[in-house]
Structures are given as C-alpha cells and as structure tokens.
Amino acid sequence: MADERGVGSGGSVPDELSAKERAARGKAVRKQVPLESHAEVRLSSDRDPVGLLISQDADRVPDLVPIRYGRMLVSPFTFYRGAALVMAADLAQSAPTGLTVQVCGDAHLSNFGAYASPERRLVFDINDFDETFLGPFEWDVKRLAASFVVAGRDNGFTVKQCREVTATVVRHYREALREFARQPILAVWYARMDMEDLAARYKATLSSGQRKRKEVKVAEGKLAKAYTRNSMQAIGKLTTMVDGHRRIVSQPPLVVPIDELTDVDSDQLLAQLRRLIAEYRGTLQEDRRRLLDNFRLADVGHKVVGVGSVGTRAWIMLLESTVADEALLLQAKQAGQSALSAYVPAVPNHARHANQGERVVVGQRMMQAASDIFLGWLRADTTDGEQDYYVRQLRDWKMSADIDALNPAAMTLYAQLCGWTLARAHARSGDRFALAGYLGKSTRFDQAITDFSEKYADQTIQDHKALIAAVGAGRIQARSGI
C-alpha cells in the first residue's frame, strides 16, 4: 500500500525529507502537470464506451446483464454510475500528476453515505470500494466533481447552479487537504464525520423559526430512520420463519434463495459455503472471529445490487445463533479486477493483491475512518473457475442522500461533506504535504476541475445516447423497470 510518503511514479520520498521539502516536491509537479491542464478532456480516437461496457459482461451472470443496462438507461446520471470503466479509460488519456493515493476508483456522489461505526456512531464516509486501487489522486476528484454536474443537470439545475455546486466540492476538497497537511498524522487518521455532531452544529446555527422548516424536519426524519435500518430490520424484511428456522424470502429476480437456483445443488453449495466461511473467518481480527463463532450458516440467496454492479455475483448469507432472535445477515459480493487496473501508471508489486476481495477490503480500511467489523474476504472454487469475494454485513444502520430530490442548496451542503471526506481519505494514504503543495491556495485547481466536469458531463450525455442507440440496434439487450 502507499504510505504518507508515497509520491511520484511508484517511488517514495526518503524518510529524511521534511514536511516542507515534501510540499515543495508537490508544488514542483505543477511544472509537469499545470493546475490549469485539468480542465482538458482528452479522448482516444477509437473510443467505444458501449464496447467497454460489453467487455465487462463476460464475468457477469448472463440473465442479469440486461437489468444492468436497463438501470443505466434511466438517465445520464444512472449511466454515469455504471460507467466507471469508461471514465477510467478516458482519464488515462491525460498526463497523471504522479501523486499517488489509495483511490476509491468510483467516487461519484451516490457512493457516499452514512453507516454505523463499531462504536455505534452514525458516520458519513465513502461506502463503495469495488474499484479501489493505487492511482493518481485527481482521478477520484474528477469522478466526484463530474458526478455533481451530471446529477445537477438531471435535477434541472441551471448551468450556473451546477457550476457553483461543483466548484464547492472541489474547493472543500482542496481546503480540507491543506488543513490535513497542518495536522499530525494521528489527527488525520482519527478524523471522521460524525452525523450526530454535524446535525447538532448545523441546528445550532438556525433560528427557532428555521428549525421548523420542512427540509430540516425531513433531514431529522432521515437521521432517525437510519438507526432503524440495521441488520435486524434487514432480517425482518428478507427472511421468514419456516419450521422454526429463518429462511430467505424469494423475491425473483432480485433475491433468489439457493433452493430455487436450478443450476446448483443447494445442499452442496451450502456445505461449500460453510467451509468458505471458516476461511473468511481467518481474515477477521481475533475478537471478531469469536463473535462470528456465535453463528452458523442457515441459508443463502443470490441478490441483485446497485447499478454498475448488477450482474456480478452477490450472495446474502443468513447465519443463526442457538439463542432465539439472534441472527446475522452477511453479504458476499464478487470482486473482479478494478476498472482502473488496466489504465493506472505502474503499481509496485507489493501493492497488488492476488485476491481481489482482499484488494477491496484493504482499500476500504485504508480510506474509511471506520469500517464494518465483519469486513473480510474469501475465494471460491466454482465450475466457472476461482471467484474472489469480499464479505460484510448486509446492513448496519444506513443513510444515503436521495440525489433526485436534492435542490441546489441541499446539494451544495452535500458537496461540502463529500469534498471533505474524499480529502480525508486521500490524506490517510497519500503524501498530504505534497498534495497540499500541488493544490496551492488559489482557486485555479477548483476552476479547472469544474471546467473539466462540465465538458465531461456533455460527453456523458452523448455516451448515454450511444447506449440507447445500441439497445435500439440490438447490440445489447436491456430490461427496464427492475
């Protein structure tokens, strides 16, 4: 993994370099990659976004691939959500800064949200790491910033409103990164966005009349609802009692229990998964292994998830305790090669992982302030070959923004949260001094990324149209409304 000294094309800064010298190194990068150059959108001459999407189908469940395309057809923003590979190929056309961090790889605004920390606090953070990898920090920033323009346009924002929101997320990223460069590394490591504290600070700035506004009441309701979206709520929704034991409820094609899967022997699969859980157990901390030992696998089902992830294999695993009303739902989600892996500059061998589930878990632990206590990985031998998975709780408190319902003011506030959070994640894994030195005090980086985002949003609209045309021409099949 990259450490806080990591900078340059796979190299590292010697221990003896001071914070000032590391900042100077970052500032010197501007000569090779000027801040203004980030405004450019460079595309390859043989660019085929639909072809790139099709290239991912080989590793997906064939019957579910049309659902993926159906979800991507809904709007330019849903297309954008599923097109991390397309954007990685496009970003690779520009010269990288060489300022390497653990990148999310798919840092659009819907991949942020709130969840429970191990200390039972509701924290806001990045929540999707399927594409995480070592790469140029600016790729995450551009992916995040452009998502605000695409989403803003879908919501009917004016050009000026989209630009203001996008400039906000980049400015908060830059200013937060510079602030983290002034803090000890332990302070950076412990920094987190606590939703209760954030809500209290925000409410304290409001008058008694403002606190009665509809949007404030709605936000308070969402915060309260998050605490009910826990594992037991998921168990109540996705399982039922059969002969004294819980079983997963069939909701095809989104949830299909293993005894309804025609191409597998359910008893054999269940036995294999029990062996795999024993292997997964070894990827957990000792205390969490003891916690897992209180449960035994009882049922398994296949579940369709996300937009870009649709078609990848995702299993929900119901574990029961011998104690009444004690149960646990885990999700094992297939992990393939990162969409960035074919495009990022050379990555040191020590930073590569043989198991792609481990890649996801290591990246998540590096970038998040607090991660799920059951986060681990495993590898399964199947008739289709070896498949890597990462495992986590299916749901442990959950709160996500309703992007379609955000007005410009609400999206601006959300942009501030996302910008700060991404900066904190990059400051943990990269050289915060070099990054701050490169970004500088001016708004030149902010404006350049905002310009890029507007241009890339235009391209996304064209790519979305290309997908629609591909469906119309029969190049791909889509199934909508699911």
- Per-residue confidence (pLDDT) for residue 2, from 0 to 100: 38
Tokens of 244: 């004294």
Say how far apart CA 106 and CA 462 lie, in whole Å. Answer: 20
Instruction: Please indicate whether residue 16 or residue 156 has the higher confidence score (pLDDT).
Output: 156
Lowest-confidence region among 111-115, 209-213, 255-259, 276-280: 209-213
Is the pLDDT at 4 greater than 60? The verdict is: no
Instruction: Read off the pLDDT of residues 282-319 as tens digits, 9 standing for 90 and up.
Output: 999 999 999 999 999 989 888 877 666 676 788 899 99
- Per-residue confidence (pLDDT) for residue 240, from 0 to 100: 84
Say how far apart CA 131 and CA 138 lie, in whole Å. Answer: 15
| Percentage above 90 pLDDT, the chain | 63
Is the pLDDT at 207 greater than 80? The verdict is: no
Tokens of 480: 């909508």
Calculate Rg over the CA atoms of the chain: 22
- Per-residue confidence (pLDDT) for residue 131, from 0 to 100: 96
Say how far apart CA 234 and CA 267 lie, in whole Å. Answer: 24
**Strands (DSSP E) along 147-257, which ranges?**
193-194, 239-242, 245-248, 255-257
| Of 275, 364, 289, residue with least CA distance to 1 | 364
- Per-residue confidence (pLDDT) for residue 360, from 0 to 100: 97
pLDDT averaged over every residue in the chain: 88
Is the pLDDT at 227 greater than 70? The verdict is: no
Lowest-confidence region among 4-8, 130-134, 189-193, 223-227: 4-8
Lowest-confidence region among 78-92, 149-163, 212-226: 212-226
Determine contact, residues 21/28, Cβ cutoff 8 Å: no
- Per-residue confidence (pLDDT) for residue 104, from 0 to 100: 98
| Of 45, 87, 133, residue with least CA distance to 358 | 133
What distance lies between CA 384 and its chain's CA centroid?
27
Question: CA angle, corner 160, sides to 158 and 163, nearest 5?
Answer: 110
Is the pLDDT at 204 greater than 50? The verdict is: yes
Determine contact, residues 60/311, Cβ cutoff 8 Å: yes
56 secondary structure, DSSP code: T
| Of 321, 324, 317, residue with least CA distance to 291 | 321
- Per-residue confidence (pLDDT) for residue 228, from 0 to 100: 64
Query: Which residue's entry shows tokens 């034991």?
Result: 245
Q: How many helices (H) and strands (E) would you count in the chain?
A: 17, 14
- Per-residue confidence (pLDDT) for residue 3, from 0 to 100: 39
- Per-residue confidence (pLDDT) for residue 164, from 0 to 100: 98
Tokens of 319: 């574990």
- Per-residue confidence (pLDDT) for residue 16, from 0 to 100: 78
- 113 bridge partner residues: 125
Is the pLDDT at 187 greater than 50? The verdict is: yes
Q: What is the DSSP string of 262-316?
A: TTS-HHHHHHHHHHHHHHHHTTS-HHHHHHHTT-EEEEEEEE--SSTTBTB-EEE
Domain ranges of the chain: 19-224+404-472, 228-393
Can you tell me whether residue 204 is helix, strand or coil? helix
| Of 10, 126, 26, residue with least CA distance to 368 | 126
- Per-residue confidence (pLDDT) for residue 12, from 0 to 100: 47
Instruction: Read off the pLDDT of residues 369-387 as tens digits, 9 standing for 90 and up.
Output: 999 999 999 998 876 678 9
Instruction: Please indicate whether residue 326 or residue 426 has the higher confidence score (pLDDT).
Output: 426
Say how far apart CA 180 and CA 81 lie, in whole Å. Answer: 29
Is the pLDDT at 441 greater than 60? The verdict is: yes
Question: CA angle, corner 71, sides to 69 and 72, nearest 5?
Answer: 60
Instruction: Read off the pLDDT of residues 21-73 as tens digits, 9 standing for 90 and up.
Output: 999 999 999 999 999 999 999 999 999 999 999 999 988 888 889 999 999 99
Say how far apart CA 145 and CA 457 lie, in whole Å. Answer: 10
Is the pLDDT at 110 greater than 50? The verdict is: yes
Is the pLDDT at 9 greater than 50? The verdict is: no
Is the pLDDT at 11 greater than 50? The verdict is: no
Is the pLDDT at 422 greater than 60? The verdict is: yes
Tokens of 150: 């695409």
Is the pLDDT at 449 greater than 90? The verdict is: yes
Is the pLDDT at 6 greater than 60? The verdict is: no
Is the pLDDT at 149 greater than 60? The verdict is: yes
- Per-residue confidence (pLDDT) for residue 63, from 0 to 100: 84
Burial of residue 154, with CB atoms counted within 10 A of its CB: 0-12 exposed, 13-18 middle, 19 or more buried: middle
Q: Which residues contact 385 (CB under 8 A, 6 or more apart)?
A: none
- Per-residue confidence (pLDDT) for residue 243, from 0 to 100: 81
Say how far apart CA 237 and CA 142 lie, in whole Å. Answer: 37
Cα 279 to Cα 180, 272, 391: the distances in Å are 38, 11, 12
- Per-residue confidence (pLDDT) for residue 15, from 0 to 100: 61
Tokens of 313: 């294999």
- Per-residue confidence (pLDDT) for residue 156, from 0 to 100: 97
